Structure 1
Amino acid sequence: MSSFNALEEWLAINLPEVLSDLNPGATEDELRTFAAALNVTLPAGFLELYRWHNGQKMKIHTGPWYGLIFMPLSRVLSEWLSWEDVIRQSSPESLASLNNSSTSVPLGFVRCLYANNRWIPFAHDGAGNHIGLDLDPDEKGTFGQVINFGRDEERKIAIAPSVGAFVDWMVEELRAGNFNIKTESDGGRSFNTLRPEKYHFLDSLAVMFRDY
């Protein structure tokens, strides 16, 4: 069984509302149009991810990536264009200052930049932070590696060498019982790691990769 199917089965049992919120898979035309709009070659793992489901309808406030929302291609493009605007409109001095505050984990895997138009988000937290694809890795990194980036993410982490490896890793964590589902005051349910016990997945990642 593929990890995508395993994740879907886990969601059906544990978070059926997230499974119900997932869109059908993207068509080949939608994938070609998206790649052309970004002028990139998309790795096979990203294409497989969006053939599986074209993100969420976003009618609920949690998603399959430890609570982060799985964005449809239309929203990915919108977020990517917003980051392009940040890069284009920032002065060289301000962008250099932002870049200098960034670090790579492990060292040499992710370029120490605040923003890069070859970082393609596929998940977001609603506050300008993402999990996404890195199509411009540093010298030790891998084309198509999965990283964190965004407004608050100075410490860029190479989470997995590919989308497929990221999903494999997450399914292994879930099978090991590393999940925490809570009912919030609004009646919705949040979803994050149990080890470490944090409210936000990106905070969990910072702890899980702190020794690199």
Structure 2
Amino acid sequence: MRSTSECWHVIESWLAANGVDDVLAEPAPDADIAAVEETVDVTLPESFCTFLQTHNGQTTDSRPLLRRFGLYSTSAIISEWKRMTDLLRDGTFEGRLDDFDERFGRPGPEVRDVWWNDQWIPFARDAGGNLLCIDLDPSPAGSQGQIIVVWHDMPTRPVRASSFAEWFQGYATAIEEGELVYSERTHSMMSNSEEH
């Protein structure tokens, strides 16, 4: 498996070769990463720490880099986590899963059967409010640190990878192999089939 640094190199090289500038932010200071861990009371996966130490999310006003998802900075991770966790603790999500019948599905067997878990670490968001999260409290059938999608209006919580390292490698490989391309139309990364 490629290292996180090698994956970043693939992405940085591709962006440079295709004239896509000013998308990635500067590295996150160690103190900012520590602030995320202290706020959430977790130890972040090493691969994710290296990810942030290379680029602390995206630059202000840049378009989404992960298909329709834009990367969060450490401060945005904390802000989003606090927002969702405050709603959880206020009881906003109580019974929310029961509002949906079986046609809409439920979190899969790898994910806790809840609307929000305070051990989910949001690291990317789309314009609709959907989140990519690192799941640090999976069900017994899941994997510690698996990557899940948290839909803002649907109860399913699909697993995208068993770890952040696996997910990031898959993203870098998709760019390298041309499965993902930068769309001048949307100013974001899209699958090649969507763009053509």
The aligned residue for residue 113 of structure 2 is: 112
5 Å-filtered alignment, 1:141-180, equals 141-180=142-181
2-side partners of 1:98 and 1:46: how far apart?
34
The aligned residue for residue 203 of structure 1 is: none
Q: Is 1:16–2:52 an aligned residue pair? A: no
Q: Secondary structure at the match of 2:33?
A: helix
Task: State the shift of 1:92 in Å.
Answer: 7.1
Task: State the shift of 1:122 in Å.
Answer: 0.6
Distance 1:14 1:42, change over 3 A: same
Q: Which has the higher contact order (CA 8 A, sep 6+)?
A: 2
Q: Is 1:192–2:190 an aligned residue pair? A: yes
The aligned residue for residue 66 of structure 2 is: 65
Q: Is the 8 A contact 1:108 1:141 kept in 2?
A: yes
2-side partners of 1:180 and 1:5: how far apart?
16
2-side partners of 1:139 and 1:93: how far apart?
22
Task: State the shift of 1:180 in Å.
Answer: 4.2
Task: State the shift of 1:110 in Å.
Answer: 1.6
Task: State the shift of 1:95 in Å.
Answer: 3.5
1-side partners of 2:61 and 2:184: how far apart?
17
- Give the 4+ runs in structure 1 shifted more than 6 A: none
Distance 1:92 1:189, change over 3 A: closer
Amino acid at match of 1:141: G
Aligned-pair identity in percent equals: 25
User: How many residues end up aligned between the 2 structures?
Assistant: 189
Q: Is the 8 A contact 1:68 1:124 kept in 2?
A: yes
1-side partners of 2:146 and 2:156: how far apart?
15
Structure 2: give runs of 5+ residues left out of the alignment: none
Q: Is the 8 A contact 1:49 1:163 kept in 2?
A: no
Amino acid at match of 1:139: P
1-side partners of 2:37 and 2:174: how far apart?
31
The aligned residue for residue 51 of structure 1 is: 53
1-side partners of 2:96 and 2:20: how far apart?
42
Task: State the shift of 1:121 in Å.
Answer: 0.7
Q: Is the 8 A contact 1:45 1:162 kept in 2?
A: no
**TM-score w.r.t. structure 1 length?**
0.79
